[in-house]
A and B are shown apart, each in its own frame.
Chain A
Amino acid sequence: MPSDIVLSVENLAKRFGTLEVLKSIHLTVHRGEVVVIIGPSGSGKSTLLRLINQLELADSGNITVGGQVLCKNDPHGRSVYVAKADLKAIQLKIGLVFQSFNLFPHFTIERNITEAPVHVLGQPVAEAKTKAAALLKKLGLSEKAQNYPFQLSGGQQQRAAIARALALEPEVLFFDEPTSALDPELTGEVLKVIRQLAAEHMTMVVVTHEMAFARELADRIIFMDQGVIIEEGTPEQVFNSTHERTRQFLRHYSE
Chain B
Amino acid sequence: MVTFQILPYLLEGTWRALQIFVLTLVFSIPLGIVVARLRQSTLRVIQLPVRFYLLIMRGTPLILQLIFFMYFPPFVLGIPIGRFSAVILAFSLNYAAYFAEIFRGGLESIPRGQFEAGHVLGFTSGQTFTRIVLPQVIKRILPPSASEAMTLVKDTALAQIIGVAELFRAAQNSTSRLVSIEPIIAAGVIYLILNSLVALVFSRFEKKLSYYRH
* Closest residue on chain A to residue B135 by CB atoms: A106
Most buried by B among A53, A54, A96, A105: A105
B-side interface mostly = helix
**One of A5-13, A30-38, A113-121, A191-199 contacting the partner:** A113-121
- Whether A106 contacts B136 by the Cβ 8 Å rule is yes
Q: Which residue of the partner chain, among B116, B117, B123, B213, contacts A150 with CB atoms under 8 Å?
A: B213
Determine if B76 is an interface residue (Cβ-Cβ < 8 Å). Answer: no
CA distance A94 to B119 in the complex (A): 12
Asked whether A98 and B117 contact (CB < 8 A) given A116-B123, A120-B123, the answer is: yes
Q: Are B116 and A55 in contact (CB under 8 A)?
A: yes
B179 within 8 A of A: no
A53 and chain B: residue at smallest CB distance: B120
B212 interfacial contact with A, CB 8 Å: yes
Residue from B122, B124, B213 whose CB has the most chain A CB atoms within 10 Å: B122
- Please tell me which one of the listed residues B111, B113, B121, B135 contacts residue A120 in the complex, with CB atoms under 8 A apart: B121
List chain A residues, Cβ under 8 A from B119.
53-55, 91
In the assembled complex, which residues on chain B have CB atoms less than 8 Å from the CB atom of A92? 122
Contact with B along A85-102 (1 / 0, CB 8 A): 000100110111010111
B122 to chain A, nearest CB (A): 4
Residue ranges of B at the interface with A (Cβ–Cβ < 8 Å): 111, 113-114, 116-117, 119-124, 127, 131-132, 135-136, 139, 211-214
Give chain A's interface residues, CB within 8 Å of chain B: 53-55, 88, 91-92, 94-96, 98, 100-106, 115-116, 119-121, 148-150, 164-165, 168
Q: List 20 A-B contacts (CB under 8 A).
A: A53-B119, A53-B120, A55-B119, A91-B120, A91-B122, A92-B122, A96-B120, A101-B113, A102-B114, A102-B116, A104-B132, A105-B212, A106-B212, A115-B131, A148-B212, A149-B214, A150-B212, A150-B213, A165-B120, A168-B121
